[in-house]
Amino acid sequence: MSIKIYFWGLIIAVLASIGWRTLHTEAAQQWLHPQTTPPLVINFDNQEPPSAGPPLRPGESAITPMPKAASGMHKCRKGNQVTYTDGDCPVGSKEQTVGGTVTVVPGQATTSSAHTSSTDKPHANVRDILLDPRDADLRDKRMDQIINR
């Protein structure tokens, strides 16, 4: 009689193990919690959308070209680069409409290193200060501060 108890206990343990492993599968969740509403079915018809205007004549395009501004600012796009100009767009770029409010400020004169005088010292870079052999004392002090924190 004790063999029957062990046998049925083993069967129950195997069934409980299988049930525990399959509890979180999609099929088990659908069986435990059936859906009351059917899933939404989306049908794609791949047809042309209805046009909002009169039908097009043969050879006529639905895309109207943008009017070119006679004067003023032009927005030119070439890839990811956008350029604003008062003349024609460069070759290879496409003109786009300028929307919103645009504020034009005067440009700044560019300075090059050749035009700097001897009185104008360039700003020191931290790397240059720390690597300069004349400032070894400064470098040692800074290293001590970092290490002894």
- List, for residues 15-35, the tens digit of each pLDDT value: 999 888 888 888 888 888 887
CA distance linking residue 95 with residue 69, whole number of Å: 10
Burial category of 72 from C-beta neighbours within 10 Å (exposed 0-12, middle 13-18, buried 19 and up): exposed
Q: Which amino acid is at 42?
A: I
Does the predicted TM-score (pTM) go above 0.85? no
* Integer CA distances (angstroms), 79 to 66, 95, 98, 110, in order: 19, 12, 17, 26
How does pLDDT run across 52-67, given as a tens digit for each residue?
Answer: 667 777 776 666 555 5
| E strand or H helix at 139 | helix 136-147
Enumerate the domain spans of the chain: 2-32, 69-98
Mean pLDDT of 130-142: 72
